[in-house]
Structure 1
Amino acid sequence: MSGAAAIARACYNAYAAKDRAAIEALIADDFHFISPLDNRIDRQTYFARCWPNSEKIQGFDFIRVVEDGARVFVTYELRGTEGRRFRNTEILTVRAGQIVEAEVYFGWSIPHEAPAGGFT
């Protein structure tokens, strides 16, 4: 596997396949995760906090995967095992074939909770 975009896709696919060994190989030892709920948590905390969510993931539909050097900008729609869908955007930083940082921006539910032209 080569290229930051291919590594990013492999990471999401490992979540959908519930393949812990595959994702562990893709996440660097010095990995950090940032989201509206997580302030630069380390690899161990990430796996304890985030990996259990793989059980609820059926798959990902990639809307955009844009590689910019070592960074990959990924917008996806997650398909949950119980029919739930939502959209997120993540910026992944890749070094030496592994993800060293994930910066997550939560998106919206699908269908959108607000009416077209409106707001919640």
Structure 2
Amino acid sequence: MRGTVRPNALVAAYFDTLSPEQRETAQALQRAVLEAAPELSQSVKWGNLVFMVERHNLLAIVAHKGHVNLQFFNGAALAAQFPQLEGTSKGLRHLKCRHRQPVDTALVRALVQAAMQAVKG
């Protein structure tokens, strides 16, 4: 009989797949997101760490070779308020965080709270 994999184990396994630089940046983003909205649940989807509110995908941490993106599923609705967001798709926007540079936790906090408001609003 197969056992259930706990979400915390999946999240830990996600970080184990990253290079040391990616892991450091991704964990800093994870801490900033959870400090801004501790009620968010975490899951690994599409090979990325996804944060959800009420079972709706809100944002994701997406690791790349030279940077880690904090991707907002409703980012297009936030783009006018946050010019730091990049991207041109219909809904998604991302905040690019380069390795070996500190994460702007105040900006992440503001973005996460705005994304939460947009979902609830």
Q: Which has the higher strand share?
A: 1
**Structures share fold, TM-score greater than 0.5:** no
Q: Which has the higher helix share?
A: 2
